[in-house]
Amino acid sequence: MYVFYSAPLKTEKGQKTKGLKQNRVTVVGDYQDGVLKIAVSRCSDKDTFTKIRGRGLATGRLLKGKIYKSFTLKEINTEKFIEIASSEAALVEKNPELVSKVIVTPTFMQTA
For the segment 42-75, what is each residue's pLDDT rounded down to a tens digit? 877 677 777 888 889 899 999 998 888 999 999 9
Does residue 111 belong to any structural domain of this protein? no
Structural domain contains residue 107 = no
**Residues 6 or more apart whose Cβ sits within 8 Å of residue 102:** 39, 61, 66, 67, 68
Residue 78 lies in a domain: yes
Q: For all residues of the chain together, what is the average pLDDT?
A: 79
Residue 59 maps to a domain: yes
CA angle in degrees (0–180, nearest 5) for 44-46-49: 65
Classify residue 29: in a domain, yes or no: yes
CA distances from 34 to 27, 39, 74, 88, 109 (A): 19, 17, 6, 19, 11
Can you give the pTM of this predicted structure?
Answer: 0.76
Asked whether residue 112 is domain-assigned, the answer is no
Can you give the residue range of the structural domain that contains 8?
2-100
- Number of independent structural domains in the chain: 1
51 contacts: CB under 8 Å, gap ≥ 6? 5, 26
93 or 105: which leads in pLDDT: 93
